[in-house]
């Protein structure tokens, strides 16, 4: 297998990866960045970004990621097509296999492979993506001010997102498959007491409807029971809050991973348990998952790479 030796390998081309690439290239570390199967990351599947500092008029996710890429390339980052398919972090130099055909031997690795939001698997979810369907209330809630929205999910984050949406929308329906919420008691109490939130227990989503934009959801109550009842719920926004799948599987043999698949890092840093291996962005962030926090930890990872390399020289 072809082998290449480098100082700094960055895996993933979202805001975390490109920010790490900008910083490490400006620090003369000649970083190599592999884009993965989604060049530009999650933001390339959304429309308008209004909450990334520096874009007062907003920016499309695609344009913003192109800008980040240009900035990284301008300072010398070597941005390449390719997916990390295996790794060996058992000893230095750390080895990462790209597309099962090339091996990179790196002194340091920044893992910034992101996390993928879980969807219900309805065929219409992707049809209305950015046109009424969203997997990020913090990102898209603002577009539904004074409107009616539904949110699927009954855990703590779903309750948190429902409360966030209730601060913007006129009405929030929570669609819950079971007859109870999974969330902690305190979160349950908060959503149940909220005047704008109505919880639809024992309810499943069958599909979505609307012409160009989402107009509502086809729902069923008591699915499969004698009292089964199908009905339509008109909504302007349909939010998924059923969890995320961090893209950490390739690294899980060597790194500490939490119960939900997030790479564990030392508090306040991007350091993993292995010196020289860092994790930045959504893949190591069960809490915030925003472009700016991903970019921030990409910067931290780059500075930590530089300090680590200085410390071993």
Ligand X SMILES: Cc1cc2nc3c(=O)[nH]c(=O)nc-3n(C[C@H](O)[C@H](O)[C@H](O)COP(=O)(O)OP(=O)(O)OC[C@H]3O[C@@H](n4cnc5c(N)ncnc54)[C@H](O)[C@@H]3O)c2cc1C
Chain residues binding ligand X by CB under 6 A are: 11-17, 34-39, 41-43, 45-46, 49, 51-52, 83-84, 112-114, 117, 134-136, 139, 247, 250, 281-282, 289-292, 294
Which CB atom, from 16 or from 199, has the smaller least distance to ligand X? 16
Which CB atom, from 141 or from 210, has the smaller least distance to ligand X? 141
**Would you put residue 175 in left (φ > 0), alpha (ψ -120 to 50) or beta?**
beta
Which CB atom, from 105 or from 190, has the smaller least distance to ligand X? 105
For residue 78, give the nearest of 30, 39, 41, 36 by alpha carbon.
30
Instruction: Give me the least distance between CB of 66 and ligand X, in Å please.
Output: 13
DSSP strand pairing (133-134 vs 237-240): parallel
Which CB atom, from 132 or from 276, has the smaller least distance to ligand X? 132
Q: Rounded CA gap, 151 and 154, in Å?
A: 9
Which CB atom, from 199 or from 289, has the smaller least distance to ligand X? 289
Q: Rounded CA gap, 249 and 16, in Å?
A: 18
Instruction: Give me the least distance between CB of 119 and ligand X, in Å please.
Output: 10
Q: Could you say which DSSP state residue 277 is in?
A: E
Q: Token digits for 214?
A: 């989402």
DSSP string, 234-266: E-SEEEE-S-EEES-GGGTTTS-B-TTSPBP--
Instruction: Give me the least distance between CB of 63 and ligand X, in Å please.
Output: 13
Locus of tokens 């698949």: 261
Query: Would you please indicate which residues are annotated as catalytic (active-site) residues?
Result: 136, 139-140
Instruction: Give me the least distance between CB of 231 and ligand X, in Å please.
Output: 27
Q: Map residue 192 onto helix, strand or coil.
A: helix
Instruction: Give me the least distance between CB of 289 and ligand X, in Å please.
Output: 4
C-beta neighbour count of 136 within 10 angstroms: 17
Helices 156-166 and 185-193 meet at what angle, rounded to 10?
Answer: 30
**Would you put residue 119 in left (φ > 0), alpha (ψ -120 to 50) or beta?**
beta
Please give the sequence-ordered ranges of beta strands (E in DSSP) within the chain, or none if there are none: 2-11, 32-34, 48-49, 59-60, 78-80, 84-88, 94-98, 102-111, 115-117, 133-134, 148-152, 171-175, 197-200, 203-209, 216-221, 229-234, 237-240, 244-246, 277-279
Instruction: Give me the least distance between CB of 313 and ligand X, in Å please.
Output: 28
Which CB atom, from 128 or from 173, has the smaller least distance to ligand X? 128
């Amino acid at each position: 297998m072809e082998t290449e030796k480098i100082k700094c390998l960055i895996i993933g081309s979202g805001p975390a990866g490109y920010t790490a690439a900008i910083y490490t290239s400006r620090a003369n570390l000649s970083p190599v960045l592999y884009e993965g199967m989604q060049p530009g990351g999650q933001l390339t599947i959304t429309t308008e970004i209004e909450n990334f500092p520096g874009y007062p008029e907003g920016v499309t996710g695609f344009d913003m990621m192109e800008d980040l890429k240009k900035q990284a390339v301008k300072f010398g980052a070597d941005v390449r097509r390719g997916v990390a398919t295996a790794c060996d972090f058992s000893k230095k130099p750390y080895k990462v296999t790209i597309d099962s055909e090339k091996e990179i031997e790196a002194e340091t690795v920044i893992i910034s492979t992101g996390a993928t939001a879980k969807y219900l698997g309805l065929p219409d979810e992707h049809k209305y993506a950015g046109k009424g369907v969203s997997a990020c209330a913090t990102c898209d809630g603002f577009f539904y001010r004074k409107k009616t929205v539904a949110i699927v999910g009954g855990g703590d984050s779903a309750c948190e997102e429902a409360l966030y949406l209730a601060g913007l929308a006129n009405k929030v329906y929570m669609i819950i498959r079971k007859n109870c919420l999974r969330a902690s008691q305190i979160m349950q109490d908060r959503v149940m007491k909220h005047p704008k939130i109505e919880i639809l227990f024992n309810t499943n989503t069958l599909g979505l409807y609307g012409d160009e934009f989402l107009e509502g959801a086809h729902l069923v109550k008591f699915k499969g029971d004698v009292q089964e009842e199908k009905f339509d719920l008109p909504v302007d926004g349909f939010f998924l809050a059923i969890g995320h799948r961090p893209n950490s599987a390739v690294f899980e043999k060597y790194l500490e991973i939490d119960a939900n698949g997030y790479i564990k890092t030392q508090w306040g840093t991007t350091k993993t348990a292995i010196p020289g291996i860092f994790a930045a962005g959504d893949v190591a962030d069960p809490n915030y998952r925003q472009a700016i926090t991903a970019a921030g930890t990409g910067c931290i990872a780059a500075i930590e790479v530089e300090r680590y390399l200085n410390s071993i020289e």
